Structure 1
Amino acid sequence: MPGPTDQSPTREILTLLDGPPYEPFTAREVADRIGRPLDTVREELNHLVGQEVLRTKEIDGHEPVWWLARREGVDGGGAGPAHSASNGSDDRDGAPDQRLLDQHRQLAQFVTRIDITDDVDEILRQITVEARELVGAHQSVTSRTLNQDWEQAINEVSLSDKYDGYQEYDTEPDGSGIYSVVCERNEPMRMTQAELESHPSWNDFGDDTDEHPPMDGWLAVPIIGPDDENRGLIQLSDKYHGEFTEADEAILTQLANVASAAIENARLYAELHESEERYRTLVENFPDGAVTLYDDDLRYIAAGGDNVQRIGETADSLTGRDLEDALPEELASQLIPHYRTAIEEEEQQSFVAEYDDTYYLFRAVPVRDEEGDVYAGMGISQDITERQEYRRRLEESNRRLEQFAHAASHDLQEPLRMVSSYLRLLESRYDDELDEDAQEFIDFAVDGADRMRTMVDALLEYSRVESRGDPFEPVDLNAVLADVREDLQVKLAESDAELTVAELPCVRGDADQLRQVSQNLLENAIKYSGDEPPRIHVDAERAGTEWVVSVHDEGIGIEPDYTDQIFQVFEQLHTSDDYSGTGMGLALCERIVERHGGSIWVESEPGDGSMVSFTLPAGDDCDS
């Protein structure tokens, strides 16, 4: 019998038998694994037995198996392996504890080397190959699916050289096979081929029978996500030796746990990468401003934007430095208290800072983790110098307008008083000489002068909404309506009005101005009630950070086309003969509501009454 030569398969045989799964092999199995002719392999195996490198034994009339002689003390002992292909057990290892130890060592090595990536396809490829090698099987399939959406499933297949003719197999599962039972139950399944074919859920391979590699036994374990939902499964078939065992199921379940963790890490990595890219894009393309991220020690984590360059720094030069060290002292002293407050009190801070003759609007925003805890802050700044200049000019214009309105009011009031006085003097002195028409003309003139004075007063009040208003503070609207009701008690009694008020909220605003709004709206509801006694109701409804206050009436209503027109200055839909007034009441209400950052509108139909609603910012607890 010839000895080993350079062309002999000796090295390949020894490498195979000295590696996991450390099992005895038949000559046919060795030939399949190393890709050599069966006769050549059998001849070399017998030669190595003669050299006492290998041991061999025929078990129960089956084909002989071979194993390394030097591993007998580890894997088989002097008696050699007990190999039975008929009972489905896998006792050929001889020392199952050692094999299990080797499998866990192999799994641990795989965990340390599996790529950290957001490429799920690559993770599944590695898992699929590892599953086949770890347990020792000719077929391995891994499928990733969420909630068993098989149309979106990602699948990987790994086949040994035994199935060379099926290496292009890529038929994707559709959820109709027995594997779906594993995903539905989230429990492993292990069967012999006979058990598999007799299972109610087995449907062979359907239309893919000719393309699918033939199966020989089956082991499948679910991939379970951190939310305990099924994320897919790993399937094995055609074990190298014997049937799949409970130990195989256990080690494959551990690999499925590794797969679940790797897939979840890939998802988190992808989300983090996407978030970083979005943040980086925002930072690098933030015009006329800057975006920074800082930790709870007020140290920059990241920075970018036009404003960074304006202080002579770059994103790289700021990163890792304390705010106090990185920023000019004049700017740092303005920022640091607000930035620290944003983290310590977990509330957004907004403020204006001035540096180098430039005004910046800053926002310090607390950044929270998945559990809601603040771990960092984000600083956002914008150059608002032009806006500040525009605001200064607007304030100056408003101041001059108010001066003009005051002067015009004073200058107009005196001539109007003079006109009214002389007309009344004319009336009293020549009363006996004035006929009925002359008396009517004088009354018209006096009434017109009086209405003009009222309009001038209303216009002056309108112009002072911004400049003469009080600072905002918590206002109890219940108290405001109570005061208005008392002021209007005579009108309410004379008109036999019914006024109901629901529980009203605490808002933030100017109490006197809100009282003016409430009184104007109630007076309108009384005035335009029609022939029936007024029926008025006031209520409020929360809408996010605002309250919507509404005044309902059952009066004459208005055409929907005029609901915007009635808020214009001096705009009246009725003549002064029908309804008295200056046409300034709703315009004043709108100006006041807008000062409070809200809006006002009316909903009405002729004959069906009206509902006037306006929004106000929610306030703190008025009791405090």
Structure 2
Amino acid sequence: MDHDQAERIQARRLEQMKALTEAARTVMRAPSLPATLQAITDAARSIVGAHQSACSLSQADDRSRAISALSLSDKYAAWRADAQPADRPGIQAWIGEINRPARMTQGEIEAHPGWPGPDAGAGERPPMRGWLAAPLIGNDGRHLGLIELSDKIDGEFDEVDESIVVQLAQFAASAIERVQVEISLRESEARFRHMADSAPALIWMTDDQGRFVFANMHYDHLFGRPAMEMLGTGWRNTILPEDLPAFECAFFAAFQARRPFQAEVRVTAREGQLRWLRCEGVARLDDSGRFLGYTGCNVDISAAKHAEAELRRLNETLERRVAERTAQLAASEARFRTYFESSPDLVFLIRVQPDGVGLFEALNPTAERFTGLRAEEVIGRRAEEVMPAEVAQKTAERYRSCVEQDRKVTYECSYDVEGERRIVDVILVPMGDAEGGSRLVLGSARDITRQRTLEEQLRQAQKMEAVGQLTGGIAHDFNNLLTGIVGALALLQRRVEAGRTEGLDRYTGVAMASAQRAAALTQRLLAFARRQPLDPRPVEANRLVGSMEELLRRTLGPAISLEMTLAPELWPTLCDPNQLENAILNLAINARDAMPEGGRLMIETANAQLDAAYARAQGGEVRPGDYVAIGVSDTGTGMPPEVLERAFEPFFTTKPLGQGTGLGLSMLYGFVRQSGGHVRIFSEPGQGTCFRLYLPRHRGSLETAEAEVRPLRAPRADAGETVLIVEDEPAVRMLVLEALEELGYAALEAADGPAGLGILQSGARIDLLVTDVGLPGLNGRQLADAARQMRPGLKVLFITGYAYDAMLGQDRLETGTELMTKPFAMDELVERIRTMIDAG
């Protein structure tokens, strides 16, 4: 190397050192972190003489990095947008791991395992021609980031370049830490200011002379003045003059001793309000222990002070009332002791412990005499130890329930006394908590053996009276009907045996009519028992009542006039029209019997709205809403109160024996209640009687309300339809099978549920299942459920003498199922079968 070249190198090194010094000044003056990073990046590229330089800060625990600042020469200007690689680990992360500078040629860097490889389009970019990087290391040795350069303008990167970059990295690390500290400080100050201004208390700071240097926004809220006017002053301008001497004494005593202080003072707040403040402060010291002032807060305790004054007043009142209550309690205890000792009932106390074990606490003299146990033998012992096992178990269950549910418990139990079984009615009442978390239960028991005996005797007498009334009335009606049936069949048999076939339809008609009347009677009885499902349909009550006029006039006779007042635009109702006709006819007959000398019968209809107050007055028997009201009134003898109270009672009648069953009004009541309605009676002796029936308003279509009566047909099968009959009564099963076979149906039969289930499992064609409900063992409902699981969509027709509410789900049948009630005509059955099959 010649002399001139050495001088040029030396001059270049001197320029680099000057530039490095200037760069250090620029970096240390940078106002923000982005500005600091950019200054470092620009200085590195300028001093070393490279086409590319970047400064990065570590962004993740895996030492991946993101470029924070970039400096490019014009050579790379076209690729500036692509010069920001994703935040990912790579060769830059490797610098963070070794935490020392590194210098490589292009070949070395491309062979390095951390090099990610060229990006898309890398072949179009200029070659890197070397790479130089130095880590940014904090004062604590922590890796902050790195400076990296590539593509040196003149030659390759050497030791001098590396030394310059390392020095620049040291300047950069110090500047970055300074900026980060400044940022943290500003953020901390902002957080403190936000926290202080958000606090619901007056927060303040003083200097070492006791003058305020800070007050939060609560000062403005409390005093209605800006906090700035408080700075540089003390407490004198805020505290009430009469409280100031004591406060200053306490404050300056604490101030001199550099110890915490606390005081309660009154201040005049905004709008002249007097407020109580609790002032608390602690000494603020620097690292050397030098006193800097106080930091504290003032909390508004006005509400607490008012509450304290009110509490004192209440305490005085409480003390007076405690004394009064103590006297009352002593008197109450004396009364309880008198009751306990002299009560004719068995009285006892049980202490129920937290684990549910009950121990007798007291036993009165009556209980001692009844049980034969002395109090000292019982107190402190469990029921199981002193009572018969059955009685002890029931007692333990009840007193635990009493405590757990915190309510009165009543029950009955039997107790053997001197070989005689006695029935005892027991009441348990929970009392206040006792010691140790246990509860006291007060028990009272009364011997009701004689009362139960008398009640049973009364029930038996009423039962026998009711059975007698039912037997007389029903036997009277059925004997008349059976006479018609038996007589017609006997004449029919005689004619057939004699070979005389003319006029036989007259006898069959008499027998059928009597049988149908008998069926109607059983349906009314079942409706009374609420086991006969109704056939509810939309009904226009005006039209139904009007159609009964001729029948009612014949029933009442010429001595009684019939008057009808039918409301215009009457709402429709949903009920069984046949049952409604029977109800009105029954009321008309009762009215006729109550007017033996003649009179008037009035029938009226009206729309009615029953409100919640009316529903509550009826004891919850009716729901509020819209109803159709039908009134039936007479001018007859009326009913005395004792008869009125029992009007709906089953079997109760005032008619002579054999002239009534006592079921008419009971069945009417059952029909109305089953239809969701309500019945009222108004009657006084000599003033007549008025019945008002309330039936719910129907808001649906009336298309089925007036279905025309048409003669039933006996349709024939036309496609080999198959019906499975499951019926345990052989006569009924035989009649149904023959009726179906005569009309071309394929009929399968089974005598019980399991047999029917076997046919259903056989795979034979079955278009409809007809099953009796009351089959022994597997009943009709269970059979139908199993059948529809095996054959989804299979239609089912239930036939029964009555329908159980539980089977039908409150008188509602499932889709694809229907119900017919025995007895029925074969033509009616076949018509229903045909209709269900054709329904698809």
For normalisation by structure 2, the TM-score amounts to 0.37
* Bigger relative contact order, structure 1 or 2 (CA pairs below 8 A, ≥6 apart): 1
